[in-house]
A and B are shown apart, each in its own frame.
Chain A
Amino acid sequence: MKRKLLLSNCLLGVAVLILSGIAPAQSSRNAAASKDKLSTVLNPAITEKLAVRVPLAPRLDTLEGKTIYIVDMNYEGMIGTPVLGEMQAWFAKNMPSVKTILKLKGGSYISDDPALWKEIAANKANGVILGVAG
């Protein structure tokens, strides 16, 4: 009786070993097949539309004798940036025939100031330096 039980246990063990050997092999083949399977998926990318092109204004032949506005964008909000004052000083020293006018733009750095742009045009400015933004 004991011998019979032992034999059946052994057979069961062999069966388990065989099955456990086969199953991983099949599973790994399936996994490999699934890994190589090609999928077709929808494209998440958005088509961007290019903006209508607008040419820049013609450039000046020279700055000599011209009027250049230097407009402070008021980035910090409380005081103008000294960088632009230094630029004005650079023109005075290195290109003294250039007339520079330093203006602080109204509103915050993101606010438009149409009155200033009109004033600049009305005063026949030849060029503008806008600064500073970050």
Chain B
Amino acid sequence: MSRFAGTLEKEYGIPTVSLSNENIVSFGIGAHFKYSTGMPLRFVGVPYPFTGLKPEALKTYPEGKDRVSGKPLMQAIVDCLTKPLTAEEKKSGIPPEAAPQSKFLPPDTEDNLQRLFKDKGWTDYNPVLLPTEERVAAMLKGTSHKPNELVKKDSGTFGTIRPFTVENVAIIAVMAGAKPSYLPVILALSTQVPYMDSTTSNAVMVLVNGPIRKQIGMNSGEGALGPVAEANSVIGRAMTLIHATIQGYQEGVSGFSSLSNPLRYNNVTIAEAEEDLPEGWKPIHVQMGFKPEDSVLTLFSGWQFVNCSGSVVEHYPPQLLMRDFTRVLAAMGSATLIMDPSVAYQLKNTQGFQTKEALSEWLSKNAEVPAGTYWANSIASGMMGPLGKQGLEPYASWQKVPSDTLIKHLREPRNIRTIVVGGKTASVWFITDFMAGRGVSIDAWR
């Protein structure tokens, strides 16, 4: 919204007022103004929610108060369009440089520093390993890159400007408890900021493929999704600290996730069990076009993580239950299956899926959801609804059918991924709505 208001004000010289929910107002006049638009846009605020309410309830909003100024809402709107600009609103040009952060913090006791790190929001509220000069220097031996090399500039939420270097990432790696050998993975991870954040409480998953998995001792076997391996645990934790410190995510300031998501505690940091794939089933990074000997990191974003609740049974093939479970997925047209190698072998040897791609094709053709359920998801209605209204298929047709009509919602087989991981102690699997991003080279950061 700030982007569009900015266009109208800056490019067309038209005074504009934005009507928003309160949390958007605080971001628009706070971090987004200071670090992105540079424009102190005028907002008025209405209570949340305004979706899912009956029109009669929404009709009362204009009679209420503006949550920003406290005035009657319509008076506040008139004022935003007519009150002369303040000196602050007339400012232009390059602002004075923000004082750079000092390289070192003032000396203090360990207890005080631990408290300071928590108070500043730089931690996950567990104690961190304090980044002394010696520890950071040792960490930097994990990469050939220079400490002052710029990794990325636009790293803040919604691309606000927060440039960071290799040394900044090494500091985070120390705090998370990483070994220097993990640093290339953590650097690759840092290139992906800003991580996806949504008020709708999404999560992110980290997948590592290639030789580095074994080189740094990542667990792909028994307990692969649990807190039982140092590398998986620490890399997942590093992501949380990057999110807080480098991206600068602060709940209620730069992000507004209503429930957040328990998956964020370790960001589902896993390494594919490439050695346990059935013949013909390729690792994710090879499916993406990388060579088997490349080490690659892939981030997935999504909301749901559903356990199959038991082992595969003889009387109902696993692909049918997977198909059934797709009904609860967010309507983004994506799915990622995370399955034990024993399930992969059953799918290949008993059910005839010779490749991961064959399973994706089958699910795309057979997964169905009632149209009403699909459109009840606000992510689908908000993003795909307008496309349907513009006549884009299949969304236009899906909007016309009765709500109990079954539609094939996983349209693109390439958006259905399979990750094989686990200890072969039970034929279990998870289905998620996670969508894969692009693979990122870890080798580039060695």
B residues in contact with A18, CB < 8 Å: none
Q: What's the nearest-Cβ distance from chain A to residue B352, in Å?
A: 40
Quick check: is B21 within 8 A (CB to CB) of the other chain? yes
Report the Cα distance A54→B33, complex, angstroms. Answer: 10
A residues in contact with B175, CB < 8 Å: 44
Decide if A57 touches B15 in the complex (CB within 8 Å).
yes
CB under 8 Å from chain A, chain B span 113-170: 113, 117, 120, 122, 130-133, 136, 155-156, 160-164, 167-168
Question: Smallest CB-CB separation from B11: which chain A residue?
Answer: A117
CB under 8 Å from chain B, chain A span 106-134: 106-114, 117, 120-121, 125-134
Quick check: is B319 within 8 A (CB to CB) of the other chain? no
CB under 8 Å from chain A, chain B span 66-105: 74, 77-78, 81-85, 89-105
Report the Cα distance A131→B50, complex, angstroms. Answer: 11
Decide if A130 touches B107 in the complex (CB within 8 Å).
no
Quick check: is B10 within 8 A (CB to CB) of the other chain? yes
Quick check: is A83 within 8 A (CB to CB) of the other chain? yes
B residues in contact with A55, CB < 8 Å: 39, 85, 89-92
Report the Cα distance A46→B136, complex, angstroms. Answer: 16
- Return the contact of A48 from the options B5, B161, B375 (Cβ within 8 A): B161
A residues in contact with B387, CB < 8 Å: 107-108
Quick check: is B271 within 8 A (CB to CB) of the other chain? no
Question: Smallest CB-CB separation from B33: which chain A residue?
Answer: A51
Report the Cα distance A122→B84, complex, angstroms. Answer: 24
Quick check: is A37 within 8 A (CB to CB) of the other chain? yes
Decide if B386 touches A60 in the complex (CB within 8 Å).
no
Decide if A134 touches B50 in the complex (CB within 8 Å).
yes
Decide: A46 near B163, CB < 8 A? Known: A59-B81, A77-B383: yes
Residues 32-54 of chain A, each 1 if its beta carbon lies under 8 Å from chain B, else 0:
00111111111111111111111
Q: What's the nearest-Cβ distance from chain B to residue A106, in Å?
A: 7
Decide: A46 near B172, CB < 8 A? Known: A41-B105, A83-B46: no
- Return the contact of B168 from the options A46, A84, A109, A131 (Cβ within 8 A): A46
Decide if B62 touches A51 in the complex (CB within 8 Å).
no
Contacting chain B: which of A4-12, A19-27, A61-69? A61-69
Report the Cα distance A131→B4, complex, angstroms. Answer: 11
Decide: A53 near B92, CB < 8 A? Known: A59-B84, A130-B18: yes
B residues in contact with A121, CB < 8 Å: 12, 14
Q: What's the nearest-Cβ distance from chain A to residue B53, in Å?
A: 9
Quick check: is A78 within 8 A (CB to CB) of the other chain? yes
- The number of residue pairs between A and B whose CB atoms lie closer than 8 Å in the complex comes to 292
Report the Cα distance A90→B75, complex, angstroms. Answer: 11
Question: Smallest CB-CB separation from B133: which chain A residue?
Answer: A42
Question: Smallest CB-CB separation from B28: which chain A residue?
Answer: A133
Question: Smallest CB-CB separation from B163: which chain A residue?
Answer: A49
Q: Classify the secondary structure of B's interface with A.
A: mixed
Q: What's the nearest-Cβ distance from chain A to residue B224, in Å?
A: 30
Quick check: is B38 within 8 A (CB to CB) of the other chain? yes
Quick check: is B257 within 8 A (CB to CB) of the other chain? no
Question: Smallest CB-CB separation from A114: which chain B residue?
Answer: B7
Report the Cα distance A120→B11, complex, angstroms. Answer: 12
Decide if B89 touches A56 in the complex (CB within 8 Å).
yes
Quick check: is A28 within 8 A (CB to CB) of the other chain? no
Quick check: is B314 within 8 A (CB to CB) of the other chain? no
Q: What's the nearest-Cβ distance from chain A to residue B199, in Å?
A: 7
B residues in contact with A44, CB < 8 Å: 117, 122, 131, 168, 171-172, 175, 245
* Smallest CB-CB A-B distances: 3 pairs: A77-B385, A131-B19, A134-B21
Known A-B contacts: A45-B245, A57-B9, A129-B19. Give 12 more (CB < 8 A). A37-B110, A38-B107, A42-B132, A47-B99, A51-B34, A51-B37, A52-B94, A54-B92, A113-B4, A117-B4, A128-B16, A131-B46
- Residues on B facing A (Cβ under 8 Å): 1, 3-21, 23-24, 33-42, 46, 48-51, 55, 58-59, 61-62, 74, 77-78, 81-85, 89-105, 107-111, 113, 117, 120, 122, 130-133, 136, 155-156, 160-164, 167-168, 171-172, 175, 199, 245-246, 248, 375, 378, 380-387, 389-390, 399
Q: Could you give 9 example pairs across A and B, Cβ below 8 Å?
A: A35-B109, A38-B109, A50-B38, A56-B9, A57-B14, A63-B81, A94-B74, A126-B14, A128-B17
